[in-house]
Structure 1
Amino acid sequence: MSINYLVLVAYLVVTFLVCGIPFGKIIARARGVDIQKVGSGNIGTTNVAREIGKGAAALTLLLDAGKGALATGLALWFFPAFITGGVSVAPHGDAAGLEGLVTLAAICGHIFSPFLHFHGGKGIAVGVGTLLGFAWPVGLMELAIFLVIAVASKRVSAGSVTVAAILGPVFALIYGPNLGLDLLLELAGLVVVWAHRSNIKKLINGQEKEFSFHKRGDKPEPDDDTIGESK
């Protein structure tokens, strides 16, 4: 294995670890709440919004998306110095799969956080962040699709599952087909869909809660039956 690939593997491991930092749990704990024991038990923005409030949710969203953007943004800058032979890491380049690998590592780090016994969030914020870091038009399009569906349905999970499922095709639509990258992005999207499996079941059964913000003075609600699954 050449030094270039050793560096790539090291970068993917660091990406997994950094993106596994559970910012939602840290922010909620600073407010005196264990976010894994209230609401849905999820450490992501939606549960933080419902159980803590707007400010904490906004900070969670910013940090979760930021770690994803940092991972792919730094990869664009970092790897041209190590990959030889004129290989490009641009979205249309021959080695574009590198960004797909980084995206997959970032999303898996968040969903399977090594700091929470391999439980974590559901990957949407960090996933959109990775797209904004290396292919912002796709990130903005996915964000727009998410907002339209989430607002229309009043259910964040509906928007989340949709954008995750169509990630690869949307990327191919904008930049043209790139089999390696498209497959890696679709795999990352399917991991996010898998993380939403309990939400999908509730959507099908009409049991998914509408999105709402925590109101001052309300106590966090006890956790529901989604706790114990990968979040």
Structure 2
Amino acid sequence: MQIQIPLLTILAYLIGSVPFGLLLAKTQGKDIRKLGSGNIGATNVLRCLGKPLGITCFVLDVLKGFLPAFLFPNIGNCGAEFGILFGAAAILGHNFPIFLKFKGGKGVATSAGVLFGVAPMAVVAGLLVWVIVLKVSGYVSLGSIIAALAVALIGWIRVDHYGVVTAAALTLLAALSIYRHRANIQRLIAGTENKFEKKKKS
């Protein structure tokens, strides 16, 4: 088990490092890093390349967080709390991918996948908060920030259910997500953040 855990952690990081947004854009002959916000995540793919590729990117980014968090503890024959370790490695891979010189996305979808693996009720609540904030404000980034805070708060409210380790991990994941949105926060304060708008049919 002592050997398996480090190997699985490295594997989780490598899985997280797979830049699905970039690869999907390449199928259209485009570099997603040169479109829209330049981010490789699902939101930018959706905004620049349309719903089918955006949804596909979102699902793949979620899975690369969910699979390590949910499956790797069983593969490594270790406790369920190690799902947080493996999930965090996948998130770090997405945010700082070795394949892209450590310049990646914000980790929202991948974090959601990790949460589905270790705390499904918290992530359902977080998604609900995200949808409500997006509908009210029109800002994807604001929805993501508030949803991250909501998930962390739920972790501590239900600490008797999740445990201190998981609640603390949820807080750290929320802090990482908010840190990765620091440019969005600056634009929100300045009033220059782009609102999410559906493409009109021609």
Tell me, yes or no, whether TM beats 0.5: yes
Q: Distance in 1 between matches of 2:102 and 2:152?
A: 25
Residue aligned with 1:5, SS: coil
Q: Distance in 2 between matches of 1:40 and 1:188?
A: 23
2:142 corresponds in structure 1 to: 158
2:50 corresponds in structure 1 to: 53
Query: Pairwise mapping of residues 76-87 of structure 1 onto structure 2 (< 5 A)?
Result: 76-79=73-76, 81=77, 83=78
Amino acid at match of 2:43: T
Report how many aligned residue pairs link the two structures: 201
1:189 corresponds in structure 2 to: 174
Q: Which moved more, 1:176-185 or 1:32-41?
A: 176-185
2:19 corresponds in structure 1 to: 22
State the shift of 1:198 in Å: 0.4
Quick one: which of 68, 74, 89 aligns to 1:105?
89
Quick one: which of 175, 199, 210 aligns to 2:195?
210
Q: Distance in 2 between matches of 1:52 and 1:20?
A: 21
State the shift of 1:106 in Å: 1.6
Q: Distance in 1 between matches of 2:200 and 2:33?
A: 19
Q: Distance in 2 between matches of 1:73 and 1:203?
A: 35
**Greater percentage in helix:** 2
Query: Unpaired runs of 5+ in structure 2?
Result: none
CA contact (8 A) 2:95 2:102 kept: yes
State the shift of 1:213 in Å: 3.8
State the shift of 1:61 in Å: 0.5
Q: Distance in 2 between matches of 1:198 and 1:49?
A: 20
State the shift of 1:181 in Å: 2.2
Q: Which moved more, 1:130-139 or 1:10-19?
A: 130-139
Quick one: which of 93, 101, 115 aligns to 2:99?
115
RMSD: 1.8
1:125 corresponds in structure 2 to: 109
CA contact (8 A) 2:25 2:31 kept: yes
State the shift of 1:142 in Å: 1.2
Q: Distance in 2 between matches of 1:77 and 1:216?
A: 47
Which structure's CA Rg is the greater one?
Answer: 1
Q: Distance in 1 between matches of 2:72 and 2:155?
A: 18
TM-score after normalising by structure 2: 0.92
Amino acid at match of 2:137: S
1:222 corresponds in structure 2 to: none
State the shift of 1:118 in Å: 0.3
